[in-house]
Protein backbone atom coordinates (compact mmCIF):
# COMPACT_ATOMS: atom_id res chain seq x y z
CA UNK A 1 0.00 0.00 0.00
CA UNK A 2 2.66 2.51 0.90
CA UNK A 3 5.54 1.80 -1.51
CA UNK A 4 5.26 5.26 -2.99
CA UNK A 5 5.52 7.05 0.33
CA UNK A 6 8.82 8.89 0.73
CA UNK A 7 10.10 10.09 4.10
CA UNK A 8 8.84 13.55 4.97
CA UNK A 9 11.27 16.43 5.25
CA UNK A 10 12.43 17.18 8.76
CA UNK A 11 10.45 19.99 10.40
CA UNK A 12 12.67 23.11 10.42
CA UNK A 13 11.91 23.80 14.10
CA UNK A 14 10.83 20.58 15.81
CA UNK A 15 13.41 18.66 13.75
CA UNK A 16 16.10 20.67 15.57
CA UNK A 17 14.85 19.31 18.91
CA UNK A 18 15.01 15.77 17.48
CA UNK A 19 18.62 16.28 16.41
CA UNK A 20 19.51 17.85 19.78
CA UNK A 21 18.04 14.89 21.69
CA UNK A 22 20.02 12.46 19.56
CA UNK A 23 23.35 14.20 20.40
CA UNK A 24 25.16 12.71 23.40
CA UNK A 25 27.79 15.45 23.76
CA UNK A 26 27.56 16.98 27.27
CA UNK A 27 28.34 20.48 25.91
CA UNK A 28 25.27 20.50 23.67
CA UNK A 29 22.98 23.57 23.72
CA UNK A 30 19.44 23.82 22.34
CA UNK A 31 18.46 27.30 21.21
CA UNK A 32 16.12 25.94 18.55
CA UNK A 33 12.53 25.59 19.69
CA UNK A 34 10.84 28.54 21.39
CA UNK A 35 10.29 26.97 24.80
CA UNK A 36 11.23 28.79 27.97
CA UNK A 37 13.98 27.45 30.22
CA UNK A 38 15.14 28.76 33.60
CA UNK A 39 18.73 29.78 34.22
CA UNK A 40 19.61 26.15 34.91
CA UNK A 41 18.32 25.28 31.44
CA UNK A 42 15.32 23.41 32.90
CA UNK A 43 11.68 23.61 31.73
CA UNK A 44 9.52 25.72 34.03
CA UNK A 45 6.05 25.11 35.40
CA UNK A 46 4.72 28.43 36.68
CA UNK A 47 3.80 28.65 40.36
CA UNK A 48 0.32 30.00 39.47
CA UNK A 49 -0.20 26.90 37.29
CA UNK A 50 0.88 24.57 40.10
CA UNK A 51 -1.58 26.29 42.44
CA UNK A 52 -4.36 26.08 39.85
CA UNK A 53 -3.64 22.35 39.48
CA UNK A 54 -4.04 21.91 43.23
CA UNK A 55 -7.36 23.78 43.18
CA UNK A 56 -8.63 21.60 40.33
CA UNK A 57 -7.24 18.27 41.58
CA UNK A 58 -9.85 15.67 42.43
CA UNK A 59 -12.77 18.05 41.88
CA UNK A 60 -13.37 17.87 38.14
CA UNK A 61 -15.06 15.22 36.11
CA UNK A 62 -13.59 14.03 32.80
CA UNK A 63 -16.59 14.73 30.58
CA UNK A 64 -16.30 15.99 27.02
CA UNK A 65 -16.11 19.72 26.59
CA UNK A 66 -18.53 21.25 24.08
CA UNK A 67 -17.20 21.41 20.49
CA UNK A 68 -16.26 25.06 21.03
CA UNK A 69 -14.51 24.28 24.32
CA UNK A 70 -14.92 25.65 27.83
CA UNK A 71 -17.16 28.71 27.63
CA UNK A 72 -15.59 30.43 30.66
CA UNK A 73 -12.13 29.84 29.23
CA UNK A 74 -13.16 31.49 25.95
CA UNK A 75 -14.67 34.46 27.81
CA UNK A 76 -11.52 35.01 29.86
CA UNK A 77 -9.24 34.58 26.83
CA UNK A 78 -10.98 37.20 24.74
CA UNK A 79 -10.95 39.63 27.67
CA UNK A 80 -7.20 39.18 27.81
CA UNK A 81 -6.88 39.89 24.08
CA UNK A 82 -9.41 42.71 23.64
CA UNK A 83 -9.58 44.22 27.16
CA UNK A 84 -12.01 43.56 30.03
CA UNK A 85 -14.41 46.28 28.97
CA UNK A 86 -14.00 46.11 25.19
CA UNK A 87 -17.23 47.26 23.48
CA UNK A 88 -17.08 44.31 21.05
CA UNK A 89 -17.37 41.96 24.04
CA UNK A 90 -20.19 43.94 25.64
CA UNK A 91 -22.02 43.90 22.31
CA UNK A 92 -21.43 40.11 22.07
CA UNK A 93 -19.87 40.48 18.67
CA UNK A 94 -17.01 38.03 19.22
CA UNK A 95 -17.23 34.38 18.21
CA UNK A 96 -14.69 32.47 20.32
CA UNK A 97 -13.76 28.80 20.43
CA UNK A 98 -11.12 26.94 22.39
CA UNK A 99 -8.43 25.53 20.11
CA UNK A 100 -5.45 23.21 20.13
CA UNK A 101 -3.10 26.04 21.01
CA UNK A 102 -2.08 28.73 18.51
CA UNK A 103 -1.45 26.27 15.67
CA UNK A 104 -4.97 24.88 16.07
CA UNK A 105 -6.42 28.40 16.11
CA UNK A 106 -4.59 29.34 12.90
CA UNK A 107 -5.63 26.11 11.19
CA UNK A 108 -9.26 26.41 12.22
CA UNK A 109 -9.34 29.95 10.88
CA UNK A 110 -7.60 28.96 7.63
CA UNK A 111 -10.23 26.26 7.06
CA UNK A 112 -13.00 28.72 7.91
CA UNK A 113 -11.53 31.23 5.47
CA UNK A 114 -11.41 28.61 2.73
CA UNK A 115 -14.98 27.50 3.40
CA UNK A 116 -16.60 30.94 3.45
CA UNK A 117 -14.24 33.04 1.31
CA UNK A 118 -12.99 30.31 -1.04
CA UNK A 119 -11.34 32.65 -3.54
CA UNK A 120 -9.61 34.86 -1.01
CA UNK A 121 -5.87 35.05 -0.44
CA UNK A 122 -3.72 35.05 2.65
CA UNK A 123 -0.74 37.43 2.79
CA UNK A 124 2.10 36.10 4.92
CA UNK A 125 5.09 38.16 6.13
CA UNK A 126 8.65 37.35 5.04
CA UNK A 127 9.95 35.81 7.14
CA UNK A 128 7.43 34.17 9.43
CA UNK A 129 7.06 31.13 11.68
CA UNK A 130 7.65 28.21 9.28
CA UNK A 131 4.40 26.48 10.22
CA UNK A 132 2.26 29.39 9.01
CA UNK A 133 3.04 28.38 5.42
CA UNK A 134 2.08 24.75 6.11
CA UNK A 135 -1.18 25.73 7.75
CA UNK A 136 -2.61 27.86 4.95
CA UNK A 137 -1.18 25.48 2.31
CA UNK A 138 -2.97 22.51 3.88
CA UNK A 139 -6.16 24.55 4.11
CA UNK A 140 -5.70 25.17 0.35
CA UNK A 141 -5.83 28.93 0.65
CA UNK A 142 -3.95 30.86 -2.04
CA UNK A 143 -0.90 32.23 -0.24
CA UNK A 144 1.10 35.33 -1.08
CA UNK A 145 3.86 37.07 0.85
CA UNK A 146 4.67 40.62 1.86
CA UNK A 147 7.98 42.19 2.86
CA UNK A 148 8.48 42.53 6.59
CA UNK A 149 12.16 42.37 7.60
CA UNK A 150 15.06 44.31 6.12
CA UNK A 151 18.33 42.40 6.50
CA UNK A 152 20.43 45.55 5.91
CA UNK A 153 18.95 47.36 8.94
CA UNK A 154 17.95 44.22 10.86
CA UNK A 155 14.69 46.06 11.43
CA UNK A 156 11.21 46.41 9.95
CA UNK A 157 10.86 47.02 6.22
CA UNK A 158 7.87 49.27 6.76
CA UNK A 159 7.97 50.82 3.31
CA UNK A 160 8.17 47.41 1.66
CA UNK A 161 5.35 46.13 3.84
CA UNK A 162 3.05 49.02 2.96
CA UNK A 163 3.94 48.84 -0.72
CA UNK A 164 3.19 45.10 -0.90
CA UNK A 165 -0.03 45.30 1.08
CA UNK A 166 -1.27 48.20 -1.04
CA UNK A 167 -1.20 45.78 -3.97
CA UNK A 168 -3.25 43.10 -2.18
CA UNK A 169 -6.74 42.78 -3.73
CA UNK A 170 -9.72 43.91 -1.65
CA UNK A 171 -11.02 41.05 0.47
CA UNK A 172 -7.57 39.60 1.14
CA UNK A 173 -6.58 38.30 4.56
CA UNK A 174 -3.29 39.39 6.12
CA UNK A 175 -1.40 37.44 8.75
CA UNK A 176 0.09 39.69 11.42
CA UNK A 177 2.08 38.77 14.51
CA UNK A 178 0.43 40.76 17.30
CA UNK A 179 3.70 41.09 19.21
CA UNK A 180 7.20 39.58 19.47
CA UNK A 181 7.33 38.64 15.81
CA UNK A 182 8.62 35.10 15.29
CA UNK A 183 11.40 34.70 14.10
CA UNK A 184 12.70 38.29 13.89
CA UNK A 185 11.77 39.86 17.23
CA UNK A 186 10.96 43.02 15.25
CA UNK A 187 7.53 44.65 15.77
CA UNK A 188 5.96 47.74 14.18
CA UNK A 189 5.70 50.83 16.41
CA UNK A 190 2.27 52.06 17.59
CA UNK A 191 2.30 54.71 14.84
CA UNK A 192 3.13 52.12 12.20
CA UNK A 193 0.28 49.89 13.41
CA UNK A 194 -2.02 52.91 13.09
CA UNK A 195 -0.92 53.53 9.54
CA UNK A 196 -1.41 49.87 8.69
CA UNK A 197 -4.85 49.94 10.24
CA UNK A 198 -5.81 52.85 7.97
CA UNK A 199 -4.54 51.00 4.92
CA UNK A 200 -6.50 47.88 5.87
CA UNK A 201 -9.61 50.02 6.20
CA UNK A 202 -9.29 51.89 2.96
CA UNK A 203 -8.30 48.79 0.95
CA UNK A 204 -10.75 46.30 2.53
CA UNK A 205 -8.13 43.93 4.00
CA UNK A 206 -8.89 41.54 6.85
CA UNK A 207 -6.38 41.47 9.75
CA UNK A 208 -5.66 38.07 11.25
CA UNK A 209 -3.52 38.37 14.38
CA UNK A 210 -1.45 35.48 15.60
CA UNK A 211 -0.78 36.32 19.25
CA UNK A 212 1.44 33.52 20.55
CA UNK A 213 3.56 35.72 22.84
CA UNK A 214 1.24 38.05 24.77
CA UNK A 215 3.36 39.13 27.75
CA UNK A 216 6.66 38.00 26.28
CA UNK A 217 7.45 41.15 24.31
CA UNK A 218 7.27 43.68 27.14
CA UNK A 219 6.41 41.60 30.21
CA UNK A 220 3.01 43.36 30.17
CA UNK A 221 0.00 41.63 28.63
CA UNK A 222 -1.87 44.89 27.97
CA UNK A 223 1.04 46.54 26.19
CA UNK A 224 1.58 43.45 24.10
CA UNK A 225 -2.01 43.61 22.87
CA UNK A 226 -1.61 47.18 21.60
CA UNK A 227 -1.79 46.25 17.92
CA UNK A 228 -5.13 44.52 18.40
CA UNK A 229 -6.46 47.41 20.48
CA UNK A 230 -5.39 49.91 17.79
CA UNK A 231 -7.21 47.94 15.07
CA UNK A 232 -10.25 47.55 17.38
CA UNK A 233 -10.43 51.31 17.94
CA UNK A 234 -10.55 51.76 14.19
CA UNK A 235 -13.59 49.49 14.08
CA UNK A 236 -12.08 46.56 12.18
CA UNK A 237 -13.57 43.15 12.06
CA UNK A 238 -10.60 40.95 12.75
CA UNK A 239 -9.63 37.55 14.06
CA UNK A 240 -7.11 36.51 16.66
CA UNK A 241 -5.29 33.27 17.48
CA UNK A 242 -4.20 33.08 21.12
CA UNK A 243 -1.88 30.55 22.68
CA UNK A 244 -1.14 29.86 26.33
CA UNK A 245 1.87 27.70 25.44
CA UNK A 246 4.49 30.36 26.06
CA UNK A 247 2.97 32.92 28.40
CA UNK A 248 1.55 30.33 30.82
CA UNK A 249 4.11 27.65 30.01
CA UNK A 250 1.36 25.21 28.96
CA UNK A 251 3.13 23.97 25.82
CA UNK A 252 2.05 20.32 25.84
CA UNK A 253 -1.46 21.04 27.12
CA UNK A 254 -2.36 22.51 23.73
CA UNK A 255 -4.55 25.32 24.94
CA UNK A 256 -5.49 28.32 22.84
CA UNK A 257 -8.42 30.34 21.57
CA UNK A 258 -9.61 31.53 18.17
CA UNK A 259 -11.81 34.60 18.20
CA UNK A 260 -13.51 36.30 15.27
CA UNK A 261 -14.89 39.81 15.69
CA UNK A 262 -18.16 40.10 13.76
CA UNK A 263 -20.52 42.87 12.74
CA UNK A 264 -23.27 41.95 15.20
CA UNK A 265 -24.19 39.36 17.81
CA UNK A 266 -26.21 37.18 15.40
CA UNK A 267 -23.22 36.93 13.06
CA UNK A 268 -21.06 35.93 16.03
CA UNK A 269 -23.46 33.12 16.89
CA UNK A 270 -23.45 31.93 13.28
CA UNK A 271 -19.67 32.10 12.94
CA UNK A 272 -19.15 30.22 16.20
CA UNK A 273 -21.51 27.46 15.07
CA UNK A 274 -19.55 27.07 11.83
CA UNK A 275 -16.18 27.00 13.60
CA UNK A 276 -17.54 24.24 15.80
CA UNK A 277 -18.72 22.37 12.77
CA UNK A 278 -15.22 22.50 11.26
CA UNK A 279 -13.74 21.27 14.55
CA UNK A 280 -16.15 18.32 14.91
CA UNK A 281 -14.78 16.04 12.15
CA UNK A 282 -11.18 17.10 12.87
CA UNK A 283 -10.87 16.52 16.62
CA UNK A 284 -14.46 16.69 17.89
CA UNK A 285 -13.79 18.86 20.94
CA UNK A 286 -10.69 20.30 22.60
CA UNK A 287 -8.86 18.92 25.67
CA UNK A 288 -10.04 19.73 29.16
CA UNK A 289 -7.15 20.10 31.55
CA UNK A 290 -5.21 23.03 30.10
CA UNK A 291 -8.39 25.06 29.68
CA UNK A 292 -9.28 24.42 33.32
CA UNK A 293 -5.85 25.60 34.43
CA UNK A 294 -6.06 28.84 32.41
CA UNK A 295 -9.62 29.43 33.61
CA UNK A 296 -8.60 28.95 37.24
CA UNK A 297 -5.62 31.31 36.93
CA UNK A 298 -7.47 34.04 35.04
CA UNK A 299 -10.58 33.99 37.23
CA UNK A 300 -8.74 34.22 40.56
CA UNK A 301 -7.40 37.77 41.15
CA UNK A 302 -4.48 36.55 43.27
CA UNK A 303 -3.41 33.86 40.83
CA UNK A 304 -3.78 36.28 37.94
CA UNK A 305 -1.55 38.81 39.70
CA UNK A 306 0.99 36.08 40.33
CA UNK A 307 0.82 35.08 36.66
CA UNK A 308 1.57 38.67 35.56
CA UNK A 309 4.63 38.64 37.82
CA UNK A 310 5.82 35.29 36.53
CA UNK A 311 5.44 36.34 32.87
CA UNK A 312 7.54 39.38 33.67
CA UNK A 313 10.22 37.26 35.33
CA UNK A 314 10.46 35.15 32.15
CA UNK A 315 10.54 38.20 29.88
CA UNK A 316 13.18 39.89 32.07
CA UNK A 317 15.44 36.83 32.19
CA UNK A 318 15.43 36.81 28.39
CA UNK A 319 16.27 40.52 28.24
CA UNK A 320 19.17 39.86 30.64
CA UNK A 321 20.44 37.06 28.40
CA UNK A 322 20.27 39.34 25.34
CA UNK A 323 22.55 41.78 27.13
CA UNK A 324 24.89 38.98 28.24
CA UNK A 325 25.16 37.50 24.74
CA UNK A 326 25.86 40.88 23.18
CA UNK A 327 28.46 41.91 25.76
CA UNK A 328 30.22 38.53 25.54
CA UNK A 329 30.51 38.89 21.76
CA UNK A 330 31.90 42.40 22.18
CA UNK A 331 34.36 41.22 24.85
CA UNK A 332 35.63 38.60 22.44
CA UNK A 333 36.45 41.42 20.04
CA UNK A 334 33.86 40.58 17.41
CA UNK A 335 33.98 43.29 14.79
CA UNK A 336 30.38 42.66 13.69
CA UNK A 337 27.49 44.81 14.91
CA UNK A 338 25.40 42.99 17.55
CA UNK A 339 23.11 45.72 18.82
CA UNK A 340 20.11 44.02 17.21
CA UNK A 341 20.40 41.31 19.88
CA UNK A 342 19.17 43.76 22.51
CA UNK A 343 16.91 45.75 20.18
CA UNK A 344 14.79 42.77 19.14
CA UNK A 345 12.10 41.61 21.55
CA UNK A 346 10.34 38.44 22.65
CA UNK A 347 11.75 34.95 22.69
CA UNK A 348 13.93 35.12 19.60
CA UNK A 349 17.02 36.80 18.30
CA UNK A 350 17.26 36.85 14.53
CA UNK A 351 21.00 36.76 14.56
CA UNK A 352 21.91 37.24 10.92
CA UNK A 353 23.95 34.00 10.97
CA UNK A 354 23.94 32.25 7.61
CA UNK A 355 22.88 28.64 7.06
CA UNK A 356 26.53 27.61 6.71
CA UNK A 357 27.44 29.31 9.96
CA UNK A 358 24.52 27.62 11.73
CA UNK A 359 25.63 24.26 10.33
CA UNK A 360 29.13 24.88 11.71
CA UNK A 361 27.73 25.80 15.12
CA UNK A 362 25.92 22.47 15.19
CA UNK A 363 28.73 20.30 13.82
CA UNK A 364 31.64 21.87 15.64
CA UNK A 365 30.03 23.16 18.84
CA UNK A 366 26.88 21.03 19.32
CA UNK A 367 24.75 24.16 19.31
CA UNK A 368 21.30 23.51 17.86
CA UNK A 369 19.23 26.26 16.24
CA UNK A 370 17.05 26.76 13.17
CA UNK A 371 18.95 27.25 9.92
CA UNK A 372 17.48 30.75 9.40
CA UNK A 373 19.80 31.97 12.17
CA UNK A 374 17.07 32.29 14.80
CA UNK A 375 18.33 31.89 18.36
CA UNK A 376 15.76 31.02 20.99
CA UNK A 377 16.94 33.34 23.77
CA UNK A 378 14.81 31.29 26.15
CA UNK A 379 17.44 28.54 25.92
CA UNK A 380 20.36 30.85 26.78
CA UNK A 381 21.56 30.75 30.40
CA UNK A 382 24.37 32.24 32.47
CA UNK A 383 25.92 28.78 32.23
CA UNK A 384 26.03 28.57 28.42
CA UNK A 385 26.09 32.19 27.21
CA UNK A 386 29.89 32.43 27.11
CA UNK A 387 30.18 29.14 25.23
CA UNK A 388 27.50 30.30 22.77
CA UNK A 389 29.13 33.71 22.24
CA UNK A 390 32.52 32.12 21.71
CA UNK A 391 31.11 29.68 19.15
CA UNK A 392 29.28 32.46 17.30
CA UNK A 393 32.46 34.50 17.27
CA UNK A 394 34.43 31.56 15.86
CA UNK A 395 32.04 30.97 12.96
CA UNK A 396 31.65 34.67 12.09
CA UNK A 397 35.36 35.62 12.08
C1 LIG B 1 8.73 27.91 17.79
O2 LIG B 1 8.58 28.76 16.89
O3 LIG B 1 9.83 27.45 18.11
C4 LIG B 1 7.54 27.46 18.55
O5 LIG B 1 6.41 28.18 18.18
C6 LIG B 1 7.35 26.00 18.55
C7 LIG B 1 6.76 25.45 17.29
O8 LIG B 1 5.72 24.80 17.38
O9 LIG B 1 7.31 25.67 16.22
What CATH number should be reported for the domain holding residue 236? 3.40.640.10
263 is catalytic: no
E strands, the chain, are 29-30, 94-99, 121-126, 142-147, 149-150, 155-156, 173-177, 206-211, 239-243, 256-261, 348-350, 367-368, 374-376
Q: Is residue 49 part of a domain?
A: no
CA of 69 to the centre of ligand 1 (A): 23
3-state secondary structure of 232: helix
Q: Is 1 inside any structural domain?
A: no
Task: Give the structural domain span for 265.
Answer: 65-299
Whether residue 210 lies in the annotated active site: yes
Give me ligand 1 centre to Cα 333, in Å. Answer: 32
ipTM of the complex: 0.94
The pLDDT assigned to 216 comes to 87
Q: Is 16 exposed, middle or buried (0-12, 13-18, 19+ CB in 10 A)?
A: buried
- How far apart CA 136 and CA 127 sit, in angstroms, is 15
Q: Are residues 295 and 309 in the same domain?
A: no
Q: Which of 266, 299, 332 finishes a domain?
A: 299
pLDDT higher than 90, residue 285: yes
The total domain count for the chain is 2
Residue 203 lies in a domain: yes
Listed residue (230, 132, 253) closest to 181, CA to CA: 132
Mean pLDDT value of segment 171-177: 98
Judgement on whether residues 275 and 139 belong to the same structural domain of the protein: yes
Categorize the per-residue pLDDT at 37 as very low, low, confident or very high, splitting at 50, 70 and 90: very high
58 inside domain: no
- Structural domain includes residue 151: yes
Q: What is the pLDDT of residues 207-247, one digit of tens each?
A: 999 999 999 888 899 999 999 999 999 999 999 999 999 99
Among the three residues 253, 268, 299, which one is the final residue of a domain in this structure? 299
Catalytic entry in 246, 307, 326, 338: 246
Same domain as 234, residue 109: yes
pLDDT digits over 179-199, tens only? 999 999 999 999 999 999 999
Domain for residue 128, yes or no? yes
Tell whether 140 and 19 lie within a shared domain. Answer: no
317 and 293 assigned to the same domain:
no
Q: Per the residue annotation, which of 111, 114, 129, 157 is the catalytic one?
A: 129
Instruction: Judge if 158 and 284 occupy the same domain.
Output: yes
Q: Which atom of ligand 1 is nearest to the CA of 376?
A: 3
Ligand 1 centroid to Cα of residue 364, in Å, is 25
Asked if 129 is an active-site residue, the reply is yes
* Same domain? 240 vs 367: no
HSE-up (13 A, CA, CB side) for residue 298: 21
Residue range 70-124, pLDDT digits in tens: 999 999 999 999 999 999 999 999 999 999 999 999 999 999 999 999 999 999 9
Ligand 1 interacting residues, C-beta cut-off 6 A: 13, 33-34, 129, 131, 182
Q: Name the residue of 10, 12, 13 whose CB sits within 8 Å of the most ligand 1 atoms, as the mutation to test its pocket.
A: 13
CATH number at residue 322: 3.90.1150.10
pLDDT confidence of residue 132: 98
Q: Are residues 94 and 161 in the same domain?
A: yes
Ligand 1, from 35, 127, 131, 378: best to mutate by most atoms within 8 Å of Cβ?
Answer: 131
Contact 51, 59 (CB under 8 A): no
Q: Read off the pLDDT band of 25 (50, 70, 90).
A: very high
The active-site residue out of 210, 272, 307, 338 is 210
User: Which domain-ending residue is among 271, 299, 327?
Assistant: 299
Is 161 inside a domain boundary? yes
Q: Are 228 and 90 in contact (CB under 8 A)?
A: no
55 domain residue, yes or no: no
Amino acid sequence: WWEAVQPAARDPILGVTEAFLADSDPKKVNVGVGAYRNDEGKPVVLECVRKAEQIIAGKQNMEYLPMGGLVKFNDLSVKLAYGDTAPVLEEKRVAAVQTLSGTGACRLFADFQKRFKPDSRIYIPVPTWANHHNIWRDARVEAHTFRYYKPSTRGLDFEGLMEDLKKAPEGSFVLLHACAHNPTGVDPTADQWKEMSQLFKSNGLFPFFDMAYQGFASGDTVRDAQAIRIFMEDGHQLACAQSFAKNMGLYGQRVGCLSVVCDNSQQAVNVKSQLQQIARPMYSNPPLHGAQIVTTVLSDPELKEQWYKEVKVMADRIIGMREALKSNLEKLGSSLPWKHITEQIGMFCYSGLTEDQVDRLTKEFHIYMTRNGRISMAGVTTGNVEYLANAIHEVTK
